[in-house]
Amino acid sequence: MTTRDKIARRKLSLLELANEMSNVSKACRIMGYSRQQFYEIRRNYQTFGADGLIDRLPGARGPHPNRVTEEVEAAILAHALDHPTHGALRVAQELMLKGVQVSSGGVRGVWSRHSLLTKQARLLRLEKTTAERRIELSDEQIRLLERFSPEFRERHIETRHTGDLVAVDTFFVGHLKGVGKVYLQTVVDCHSRYAWGRLYPNKLPVTAVHVMNNDVLPTFEAHDARISTVLSDNGREFCGRPDRHPYELFLQLEEIEHRTTKVRRPQSNGFVERLHRTLLDEHFRVMGRKKFYESIDEMQKDLDAWLVHYNTKRPHQGRGMGGRTPAEVFAQGLPKPRKSKEEKMDQAA
């Protein structure tokens, strides 16, 4: 028996007791009710029967008469899914152009009933909808998801082995007194999250080639592996005429495919974005408060030590990592060498 049923039975007992005693005041005193409550209970019982004994909340019994129709509400929710950053007035105007009459207050009412009053809540709804069911996302939706969640693009990059896809980017670290601007050339193997980084006073194609030629390629050659594809943004240090640009020529010489992210969407390279955030939180913001650097070489020395710790000792909780270090996944993900025909024949024999 629910609490509402118990209350209804107690009210019925009050009416029966008053009828048996023929004394309303004494019955109310025994049951703990006032005379005003007794007459109200009796009036509801005479009007509605047993249903009148159940407590009813004040207010309208059904939807408010000024509430928008189900068709309009569905249109508002669909628009919030397609354009989660639009405000209430913008949504009302957009729907009005489509023949749906609704005010900005009506839009906010629908948002309030579905807990979508904030832009953050609408973006979270878009991300949950994308995760629960497969829908075709527009460029605007993808761009907003990438801005809202830097790991969104990472969840959609599939790699088969170490070196299958290597992401590169240029990150502005800050200003160094006596030197000027300091940039970080970052390289990440998307399969293992193994990272390389080198600091430079400028961002030029030569610096992008230098870190690849001096740091990245020797690591792969030491493991008898190669890089298949490089993913970069459309920065001038990475992109240019294939017959003149130093970085493009370098990749052609090494027989590496070059892919680029879409224009005005640098966050689509989620692996590098996540590494930069980790670098800021765990290294640059910490060391910047401990030491006063006078040269890039001093900064590079501490960065190299941090990268060794990041690659070999720091467990990674990214997708497919399972708490392993990038060095472990790098070694385990190396492609197995293909056997020659003679070796296959010998093994079969």
Condensed to tens digits (0 to 9), the pLDDT of residues 115-154 reads 999 988 888 888 888 776 666 667 777 667 666 665 554 4
Q: What is the pLDDT of residue 344?
A: 52
For residue 185, with 0-12 CB atoms within 10 Å meaning exposed, 13-18 middle and 19 or more buried, which class applies? Answer: buried
Question: Average pLDDT of the chain?
Answer: 84
Handedness of CA 75, 80, 83, 89 (dihedral sign): positive
Name the DSSP letter for residue 190.
T
Q: 166-176 and 229-232 as β-strands: parallel, antiparallel, unpaired?
A: parallel
Q: What is the 3-state secondary structure (H, E, C) of 8-25?
A: HHHHHHHHHHHHHHCCHH
Which helix or strand (DSSP H or E) is residue 260 part of?
Answer: strand 257-260
Q: What is the pLDDT of residue 72?
A: 92
Q: What is the pLDDT of residue 78?
A: 92
Please give the residue that has the higher pLDDT: either 55 or 196: 196
d(CA 85, CA 116): 11
Q: What is the pLDDT of residue 62?
A: 65
d(CA 159, CA 166): 10
User: Which CATH number applies to 159-332?
Assistant: 3.30.420.10
Of 131, 154, 140, give the one whose Cα is nearest residue 84.
140
Q: What is the pLDDT of residue 311?
A: 92
Q: What is the pLDDT of residue 184?
A: 93
**What's the pTM value of the predicted model, to 2 decimals?**
0.55
What tokens does 11 get? Answer: 């009210």
Q: Is the pLDDT of residue 243 over 80?
A: yes
What is the per-residue pLDDT across 255-278, written as a single tens digit (0 to 9) for each? Answer: 999 988 876 554 456 788 888 888
d(CA 335, CA 18): 89
